[in-house]
Amino acid sequence: MTLQSQTAKDCLALDGALTLVQCEAIATHRSRISVTPALRERCARAHARLEHAIAEQRHIYGITTGFGPLANRLIGADQGAELQQNLIYHLATGVGPKLSWAEARALMLARLNSILQGASGASPETIDRIVAVLNAGFAPEVPAQGTVGASGDLTPLAHMVLALQGRGRMIDPSGRVQEAGAVMDRLCGGPLTLAARDGLALVNGTSAMTAIAALTGVEAARAIDAALRHSAVLMEVLSGHAEAWHPAFAELRPHPGQLRATERLAQALDGAGRVCRTLTAARRLTAADLRPEDHPAQDAYSLRVVPQLVGAVWDTLDWHDRVVTCELNSVTDNPIFPEGCAVPALHGGNFMGVHVALASDALNAALVTLAGLVERQIARLTDEKLNKGLPAFLHGGQAGLQSGFMGAQVTATALLAEMRANATPVSVQSLSTNGANQDVVSMGTIAARRARAQLLPLSQIQAILALALAQAMDLLDDPEGQAGWSLTARDLRDRIRAVSPGLRADRPLAGHIEAVAQGLRHPSAAADPPA
């Protein structure tokens, strides 16, 4: 089952305070939406303020003027609709791969939620059409490249508007592409017609980068959870020293992420009979201690520092999510039409996406750091010199004739190398453009896309570790299959064995890696066993 094929089960009333989890649920069509009467009234007042300003022939960017460096050219009141339409036309220059179905839906939702803050001046018809498209499970077809994230995400949002106007294409919940005109006729009785400021209200905001970052945040949390569960099982498999995860370490260095990671690891080890729980200093030295290589007092860092390393990644994700949640519930237009202001419009720069750019770059680095831990855990588990007596590369038969996870371990290394190459910060890559009007830009959408792209190889590396852990458990089991495993370990093996049998003899693992990785990224979507 894919996420797209799931039926929407509940209806969320948007109230202007959207969470990232809610954003993902709506983007994946697991929730429908409505707009509260209070927000509709707030938006109606903003639209009325805009219409009043137009009637008074106020000097307002994008309504009585051209755009960008052409803002010094005045536009007649009778040319307003043409001005808005030409804005969409000249910005529809996106290229490259398309946003995914969920990403494009999150894009629409992010733009809608910004408008619902009540300072954009968009018409009620615009709001209604976005709600209708989202509730029907459709997404606009949007090219991913072409925005510098400065005056908002102008280019991808322009393609969204074209689809709402029936001039582009829509993606239905099953992934099929349909002509947008037919979809809008069926859902809304016709396409969106731009009036007043609707064009600018729809394209002038950070909605693409915010949408992508919102989905990334939710999925990154799953990766952290998997990393902690897998680390706990590795501790069992290698009969490691649980002393290193004692809560006193976190209490004396109380970073929130480390505290939570320590607590989660303790929960995961509940019932584990294979780990060493005796505190090293609780025993006195004996003759056996003359050969410390036989009785190491501490594990390698890939086990010992899991609470600290994953905790730091978790703290980075928390900061990322706070930034993105704030952005998701903000007005990111220019100009804005705030209530109670002495003038009808304020001109400024809330469209500048540096917050999301910096947060995305930080999360990108954190995800690569997490992947580095997982790759080293795979290396240790498959190395016969380091894995405490398990077969080389966890082969299930004759050494040499069978190579087990040798190829999979190399794949993990290759994936990590590629992730590192894609971790260069994007927020520092500002380039002047738009006739030097946009002389500093955020590159926020590129940063958000690059951080999101790291989730796929990370899940594949984690899938390799999960497969290897299940194999190690099989190799360590006694004849009754009871080796004192925790519920966490048994649950991991059950999930793996649902899509991948034990490796008794070498076979291609590519399809199994992909199936497990898909389940890690989207646990609510059942993964089918590979053919």
Q: Decide if 453 contacts 216 (C-beta within 8 A).
A: no
Cis amide linkage into residue 335, ω under 30° from 0:
yes
CB atoms under 10 Å from CB of 90, counted, come to 12
Domain ranges of the chain: 3-205, 219-334+347-521
Q: What residue has token string 């106020």?
A: 58
Query: In this structure, what token pair is assigned to residue 138?
Result: 């459709």
Rounded to 5 degrees, what are φ and ψ at 100? -70, 165
Can you tell me whether residue 183 is helix, strand or coil?
A: helix
Distance separating alpha carbons of residues 338 and 118, to the nearest angstrom: 7
The pLDDT assigned to 74 comes to 80
Instruction: Count Cβ atoms within 10 A of the Cβ of residue 389 and give its class: 0-12 exposed, 13-18 middle, 19 or more buried.
Output: exposed
Distance separating alpha carbons of residues 245 and 308, to the nearest angstrom: 9
Distance separating alpha carbons of residues 338 and 350, to the nearest angstrom: 13
Distance separating alpha carbons of residues 69 and 438, to the nearest angstrom: 9
pTM of the complete model: 0.94
Distance separating alpha carbons of residues 315 and 106, to the nearest angstrom: 24
Distance separating alpha carbons of residues 126 and 161, to the nearest angstrom: 10
Q: How far is CA 2 from CA 41, 191, 367, in A?
A: 37, 29, 25
Distance separating alpha carbons of residues 140 and 107, to the nearest angstrom: 9
Q: Any idea which fold 219-334+347-521 has? A: Fumarase C; Chain A, domain 2 (1.20.200)
Q: Decide if 275 contacts 269 (C-beta within 8 A).
A: yes
Can you tell me whether residue 9 is helix, strand or coil?
A: coil
- Please indicate whether the domains covering 3-205 and 219-334+347-521 agree at the CATH topology level: no
The pLDDT assigned to 1 comes to 28
Q: Decide if 207 contacts 214 (C-beta within 8 A).
A: no
Distance separating alpha carbons of residues 304 and 280, to the nearest angstrom: 14
CA 144 vs. chain centroid, Å, equals 15
Q: Any idea which fold 3-205 has? A: Fumarase C; Chain B, domain 1 (1.10.275)
Which residues are within 8 A (CB) of 392 and not within 5 positions of it... i.e. 6 or more apart?
382, 383, 384, 399, 404, 406
Amino acid (1-letter code) at residue 377: Q
Give the residue ranges of the chain where pLDDT is below 70. 1-9, 287-296, 479-482, 525-529, 531
Can you tell me whether residue 152 is helix, strand or coil?
A: strand
Query: In this structure, what token pair is assigned to residue 360?
Result: 């995305």
For CA atoms 341, 345, 348, 352, the dihedral sign is positive
Amino acid (1-letter code) at residue 83: L
Q: Which helix (H) or strand (E) holds 96?
A: strand 95-98
Distance separating alpha carbons of residues 137 and 373, to the nearest angstrom: 38
Active site residues: 61
Q: How far is CA 170 from CA 133, 163, 366, 419, in A?
A: 10, 7, 34, 32
For CA atoms 318, 319, 320, 324, the dihedral sign is positive
22-75 pLDDT, tens digit per residue, is 999 999 999 999 999 999 999 999 999 988 888 888 888 888 887 878 878 888
Query: In this structure, what token pair is assigned to residue 275?
Result: 């780990």
Can you tell me whether residue 387 is helix, strand or coil?
A: coil
CB atoms under 10 Å from CB of 443, counted, come to 25
Distance separating alpha carbons of residues 48 and 474, to the nearest angstrom: 69
Distance separating alpha carbons of residues 102 and 237, to the nearest angstrom: 38
Rounded to 5 degrees, what are φ and ψ at 102? -70, -40
Distance separating alpha carbons of residues 352 and 343, to the nearest angstrom: 23
Distance separating alpha carbons of residues 365 and 531, to the nearest angstrom: 35
Strands 31-35 and 10-14, by their bridges, are: parallel
The secondary structure of the chain in percent helix, strand, coil, rounded to multiples of 5, reads 55, 5, 35
Distance separating alpha carbons of residues 514 and 491, to the nearest angstrom: 19
Query: In this structure, what token pair is assigned to residue 299?
Result: 């594990």
Distance separating alpha carbons of residues 279 and 467, to the nearest angstrom: 31
Distance separating alpha carbons of residues 349 and 230, to the nearest angstrom: 44
